[in-house]
């Protein structure tokens, strides 16, 4: 068995060997606790037939644990300085492919088809750079990739927003967008002390299990998400005020918005955060013809 990368001593030795310094702009925080890494991997329920997509492998601490417990790992790394380090640290593992690309610009579907060909069970597992967490998760879901789910470490407050229920302060358009595609659960809280450098915030791991069909049936997904975003534009405003001010031509169509709310039994004085995803689906269907 190879020595774990994710120990304070080994991490320090690797960074010193390569003269590596952390770039704040890339949100680099490396995990130095093998127990935490193993627990993250546990939550992904991998088998020897699972293919894994990782984003931001750093020096390979999580990658190594994934490689030991899956068929193949494809890791996207944006920082060129880490490529020689990964080549070194992951040299014992023949089932890892590091791709030097920004995952937000990559054609992930094409890369899955090529690198994970013939693998039916695919998971995304990553310690995400905190400054791009939401765009990465939304890209993975909106592109409807052939994945079973996503297990990622992110800022605790973002995890709370993603898994929030209606009527809570954390619930918003992000909660709805993610829960439309997946069943979302926060599976563990991770203290700052297990990272170098230590981040300023606590972290959490969420597991998103992709639904076979979205939580609600909507005719026009873009319009549905447009309505949910508009409804949370100013949290203290009523749903009627937000829709009137945020939708194109909303002020002129106030009567139609009122009628749509009335048709689906939504009180126009309610706030966006009190509506369930089902109510948003009904509302977007009722408003669709007025805004096309």
Annotated binding residues for S-adenosyl-L-methionine, written as ranges, equal: 29, 31, 56, 77, 102, 127
Round to whole Å and give the CA distance between 2 and 227.
52
Pair 71, 49: CB distance under 8 Å: yes
Sheet holding 50-55, edge to edge: 96-99, 72-76, 50-55, 121-127, 149-155, 203-210, 182-190
Bridge pairing between strands 203-210 and 149-155 = antiparallel
Tell how far CA 243 is from the center of its chain: 27
- Which residue in 264, 22, 2, 215 sits closest to 129, CA to CA? 22
Place of tokens 């709310």: 261
Please choose, from the candidates 218, 232, 241, 217, the residue with its C-alpha nearest in 3D space to the C-alpha of residue 272: 232
Annotated binding-site positions: 29, 31, 56, 77, 102, 127
> Does an H or E element contain 40, and which?
helix 34-43
Sign of CA dihedral 98, 100, 104, 107: negative
Residue pair 12/20 in contact by the 8 Å Cβ criterion? no
CB distance 57 to 27 below 8 Å: no
What does the DSSP 8-state code read for residue 2?
P
Q: Is the dihedral of CA 240, 241, 247, 252 positive or negative?
A: positive
Contact 15, 180 (CB under 8 A): no
Q: To 10 degrees, the CA torsion angle through 263, 264, 265, 271?
A: -120
């Amino acid at each position: 068995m190879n020595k774990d990368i994710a120990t304070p001593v080994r991490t320090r030795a690797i960074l010193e060997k390569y003269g590596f310094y952390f770039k704040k702009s890339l949100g680099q925080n490396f995990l130095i606790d093998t127990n935490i890494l193993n627990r993250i991997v546990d939550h992904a329920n991998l088998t020897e037939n699972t293919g894994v997509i990782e984003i931001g492998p750093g020096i390979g601490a999580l990658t190594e644990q994934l490689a030991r417990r899956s068929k193949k790992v494809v890791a996207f790394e944006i920082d060129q300085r880490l490529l020689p380090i990964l080549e070194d640290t992951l040299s014992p593992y023949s089932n890892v492919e590091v791709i030097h690309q920004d995952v937000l610009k990559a054609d992930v579907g094409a890369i899955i088809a090529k690198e994970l060909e013939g693998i039916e069970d695919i998971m995304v597992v990553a310690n995400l750079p905190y400054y791009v967490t939401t765009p990465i998760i939304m890209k993975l879901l909106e592109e409807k990739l052939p994945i079973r789910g996503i297990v990622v470490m992110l800022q605790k407050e973002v995890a709370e927003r993603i898994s929030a229920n209606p009527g809570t302060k954390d619930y918003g358009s992000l909660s709805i967008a993610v829960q439309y595609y997946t069943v979302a659960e926060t599976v563990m809280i991770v203290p700052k002390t297990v990272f170098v450098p230590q981040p300023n915030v606590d972290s959490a791991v969420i597991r998103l299990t992709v639904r076979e069909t979205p939580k609600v049936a909507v005719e026009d997904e873009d319009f549905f998400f447009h309505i949910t975003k508009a409804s949370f534009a100013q949290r203290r405003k009523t749903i009627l005020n937000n829709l009137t001010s945020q939708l194109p031509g909303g002020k002129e169509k106030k009567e139609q918005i009122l009628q749509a709310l009335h048709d689906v039994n939504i009180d126009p004085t309610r706030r966006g955060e009190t509506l369930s995803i089902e109510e948003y689906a009904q509302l977007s269907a009722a408003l669709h013809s007025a805004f096309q």
